[in-house]
Structure 1
C-alpha cells in the first residue's frame, strides 16, 4: 500500500534584497494513511514553511511532494489547514462559521448541512450553533474551527500550532479533545509544535528537524499500547518520560 504522503528531498530558500536564505534542506519522510505525525525543531527551522509547501501555498525549490502516489501539483486531494488562531468571524454564528468552507467551495447542500449538524452534535457544539464566537471559550472556538475544516472532508489535515494561543490548562484539555476527534475520524494529520510533550502525547511518530536550515535530524516512533489513546492518558505513562528524553536529547545533539 502506498503512503498517503511522500516528501522527497524537498528544499526551499527565501529571497530578499539582502540575498538568499536557505530555510529547508533535503527533507524526506513518508506518512501512512491515518497516521498522526508531529514535527518539532528549534524556532526558525522551517516547520511552518514545510506546511506551506505541503498545502501548496508555496512550491519547493527542489524535491517533490506526492499524495496518494500522485505529485501534489497534479493531485486533487483535499487539504485542511488549521492555524494558530481560529479565525472565526464575529458577525457569523458558530453554525454559519462552520459552513464557511462548504459555502466558498459551493458544496453547501442538504447532505453537507446534515453532516455538519451531526458533527456539531457529536463534538458538543449543537447547543451553541446560534451563538457568536465571542460567547464561546477558546477551546470551544478551536473545536468549531476544526468542525469547519473537517466538514470539507480533507484527505490530509495540517495543524500549525493550533493550541498555542490558549492558556496552559485549556491547551491541555483542547489538545486532548481535538487530537482524539482527529484520530476517531482516521484522518491523516501533521502537527507542528514547539511543545515536546504535546508532540509525544498525540503522535504516532515525531519528526525532529535541525536548526536553520532545517534538515532531518531524526524520527522517533511513539507507541503507548491500545489502552492509551488520549493524550492526557499518555502523559501519565512511564514511557512518556522516556520518549521525552529521547526527543530532547536529539534536539540538543549537534551534528
Structure 2
C-alpha cells in the first residue's frame, strides 16, 4: 500500500494480463480524493519521503559516517533532531558499523529532515527500546508541528507506538499472501479496539473468530509455587567500558519474569550468563537445563539448516516425546502456524516466519528454564498475542519458568508475572533488580524514562499518555506511572 501511495508501484486493478499504466489508474478514480492525490504525486507537486522497513539494508545506501549522512539530508552536526534521537554521540561512527537500533534512529532522522509533503514510516519501532520508541514518535510528530500542511503515514505492529503517534487509524484485514482490505479511517482508540475485536461494524463483517484479549492486570498475590531456579548476586565487566551488577533472585514454577530496560543495559548478557555462554569469575550458578531463543535469528550462508525444510528441522531438533504429544502440537505448533510452513525451506522464510519457527524450537525442549529474547521481533499484532498465549500456556502446563526480554509494553504486561528492572547508563553501567511485582516494576521502569501509561477502558490494553497532558501530569503527581487493575492469582 505504501509503495502505491508513494507512486512507486502501479496497481493492476485486477487486470493481470494487461496491467494499466498511471493515467488509466488515475482516470479510474476520477472525482475522488485518491485521484487528486495520485495526480499530485505523479506530477511532482507532492513530494514523498519514505523510511524503509528494512533498516539493516541502510548501509548499502548511506556511505560514510552518521554526520555525513545527516549533512546530506540537510542537518547541522548539532541539529535538534540528532540530539532528540541520541545521534550526537554517534556522529563519527561509520554507518555500516551501527547496530539495528542505531540504524533505525538514523533512518527516522534522515526521513524527518527531508523536504516533502508526505512522510511514510515503515515500522519505525523495530529494534528500539521503549524510551527510544517514544523519542522517535515525538520526532515524527515534530514534522507535522513544523508544517500543518504535511501528512504522515506510518505502519507499525507495536500498538502502543501507533496509539501514541496517530491521529487516525486504518487497519488491514484479510488473508496473508492472498488479499487484504483497508478499513475506513477511525479515531485512534476506536480503530485499535475494533482491530483487536476483529469486527468491522460499518461492514457488519467479522474477520477474526475470537477477539485479541490482553488480560492485563496486576496479581493480588505473588506466585506460591515452588522455586524453580535461584541465582546469587552477580557482577561482571565487559572490556573496559561496561559493568553490570545483578541482584540475587529466584523464579518459580509456572512463572514468567520479564526483563525491562533500555538497549545496552545487559539484558541479553544476563541470558548469556544463564545459558553458560558467559561466566563470572569465582561465581558458580546452579546447574539448570536452559532452552534459549536468541535475539537475532540469522541463517548463515552455507548453514546446513538453511537448506532444510521446516518439517525436517522440527523432526530433528524437537524432543521426540513432545513431537508425539498431541497437547504440544495443539498448544505450540498449531497456534504458531508451523504446519503451514512444513514444506518450506528455512532459507526462504521471512523474518516473522523464522521467529515463529524459533519459538516452536525453544519449546521443543523439556528443560528447567526458558530464556526468550525479543519474541515480538518481526511478528504482526495478531501473531504477538498468539505468541504470548503460546508462551504462557506452555510454561504453566509444564510448570516451568521463563525469562523474557521484550520492548513491546503490551506483550510485556500480558506475559509478566514479575519483572526485573535495569537501571543505569546504556553501554556504561547497569544495575538489575531482583524479580519484583509487575505494577511496582513497571512504575519504576517508566519513571526512569519519564513516560506514563493509562489503561484503555474497553480492552484493558496499556496506552501511552502524551507528554504534559492532563492524565500524564495527574499520574506523575500521584506516582502512578502505570495503571492496572488488580486481579487474583492464577
- State the TM-score, normalized to the length of structure 2: 0.39
* Offset, 1:3: 1.4
Contact 2:247 2:434 in 1 (8 A): no
- Separation of aligned partners in 2, 1:5 and 1:244: 31
Contact 1:156 1:189 in 2 (8 A): yes
Q: Match for residue 85 of structure 1?
A: 296
In the alignment, structure 1 residue 34 sits paired with structure 2 residue 254: yes
Matches within 5 A, 1:149-164: 149-164=362-377
SS at match of 1:210: strand
- Separation of aligned partners in 2, 1:235 and 1:203: 21
Structure 2: runs of 5+ lacking an equivalent: 1-224, 300-304, 440-455, 465-474, 484-490
* Cα shift readout 1:98-154 (whole Å, capped 9, x = no counterpart): 23435xxxx6x5x55434993534643224312223555543332221222222222
Counterpart of 1:23 (choices 243, 248, 259) is: 243
Contact 1:11 1:60 in 2 (8 A): yes
In the alignment, structure 1 residue 182 sits paired with structure 2 residue 405: no
Judged with a 3 Å threshold, the aligned counterparts in structure 2 of structure 1 residues 235 and 222 are, in CA distance, closer, same or farther, namely farther
- Separation of aligned partners in 2, 1:196 and 1:127: 29
- Separation of aligned partners in 2, 1:235 and 1:141: 33
Contact 2:416 2:438 in 1 (8 A): yes
SS at match of 1:199: helix
Counterpart of 1:129 (choices 332, 342, 345) is: 342
Structure 1: runs of 5+ lacking an equivalent: 66-70, 224-232, 248-255
* Offset, 1:8: 1.4
Counterpart of 2:421 (choices 202, 208, 221) is: 208
Matches within 5 A, 1:160-239: 160-164=373-377, 166=378, 170-185=379-394, 186=396, 187-211=400-424, 212-217=428-433, 220-222=436-438, 236-237=459-460
Higher relative contact order (CA 8 A, sep 6+): 1
Of structures 1 and 2, the larger Rg is shown by: 2
Q: Match for residue 145 of structure 1?
A: 358
* Offset, 1:239: 7.1
- Separation of aligned partners in 2, 1:43 and 1:122: 30
Matches within 5 A, 1:61-140: 61=281, 63-65=283-285, 71-72=286-287, 77-87=288-298, 89-102=305-318, 111=321, 113-115=323-325, 118=329, 120-121=333-334, 123-133=336-346, 136-140=349-353
Please give the root-mean-square deviation of Cα atoms over the aligned residues, in Å. Answer: 3.4
Contact 1:78 1:154 in 2 (8 A): yes
SS at match of 1:52: helix
Judged with a 3 Å threshold, the aligned counterparts in structure 2 of structure 1 residues 39 and 28 are, in CA distance, closer, same or farther, namely same
Q: Match for residue 9 of structure 1?
A: 233
* Offset, 1:52: 0.4
Judged with a 3 Å threshold, the aligned counterparts in structure 2 of structure 1 residues 193 and 25 are, in CA distance, closer, same or farther, namely same
- Regions of 4+ moved over 6 Å: 238-244
- Separation of aligned partners in 2, 1:156 and 1:234: 35
Judged with a 3 Å threshold, the aligned counterparts in structure 2 of structure 1 residues 30 and 217 are, in CA distance, closer, same or farther, namely closer
Contact 2:265 2:430 in 1 (8 A): yes
- Separation of aligned partners in 1, 2:364 and 2:322: 8
Contact 1:83 1:162 in 2 (8 A): no
Q: Match for residue 49 of structure 1?
A: 269
SS at match of 1:214: strand
- Separation of aligned partners in 1, 2:335 and 2:460: 28
SS at match of 2:411: helix
Contact 2:255 2:417 in 1 (8 A): yes
| Residues paired across the two proteins, number | 215
Choose between structure 1 and 2: higher strand proportion. 1
- Separation of aligned partners in 2, 1:154 and 1:97: 19
Contact 2:392 2:415 in 1 (8 A): no
- Separation of aligned partners in 2, 1:239 and 1:120: 29
